[in-house]
Amino acid sequence: MKKSLSQKPVRKPRSSQFKMTPAMQLRMEKAMTSVGNIADQQARKDDKVQREARMAIAETFDAWLEWLEEAAPEQIEEAFFELGCFATATNRRRLFKHAKAPMGVAERAQEQVDRWKEEEEAAKAAAAETAAAEAAARKNGEADGNTSA
């Protein structure tokens, strides 16, 4: 006696791709445009606030230097030195043309920047040497592992 196996009905596979109608596409484009416009407006507002904050600092800098000249004249050189250390090369040249910039502070700041560059290059070289040594050790370890197997 032979039993026939019942077969399950074949299911139609669902379409895995979502198809957007033209009306849905239009609504999506309008929504994305709206979101983009709002983000652009907010970014412009944020830029304006930051620009105004930088202008306030720039406008207050001279008054602060005058006060510092009276209260703690020795700190003027240190302030220019620290600003010079973190400024770009172009801004550093401009910064040290300021009327209140002490003589010699530009050279001091440049020496510090050069020292930092040398330390960074030495650190990169040391990291490269360490990586090369680790790679060589791994290669030797793999070679040793292959010979014992």
Give tens-digit pLDDT for 63-72. 999 999 999 9
Give the model's pLDDT for residue 70: 92
Split the chain (149 residues) into runs of 10 and give each run's mean pLDDT.
Answer: 68 74 94 96 97 95 93 92 94 94 94 96 94 88 62
Measure the CA dihedral 113/114/116/120, to 10°: 140
pTM of the full structure: 0.60
Give the model's pLDDT for residue 5: 67
Q: How far is Cα 27 from Cα 13, in angstroms, rounded to an integer?
A: 29
**Could you list the residue range(s) of the whole structural domain that residue 51 is in?**
29-71
Look at residue 78 and tell me if it is in a domain. no
Look at residue 109 and tell me if it is in a domain. no
Look at residue 115 and tell me if it is in a domain. no
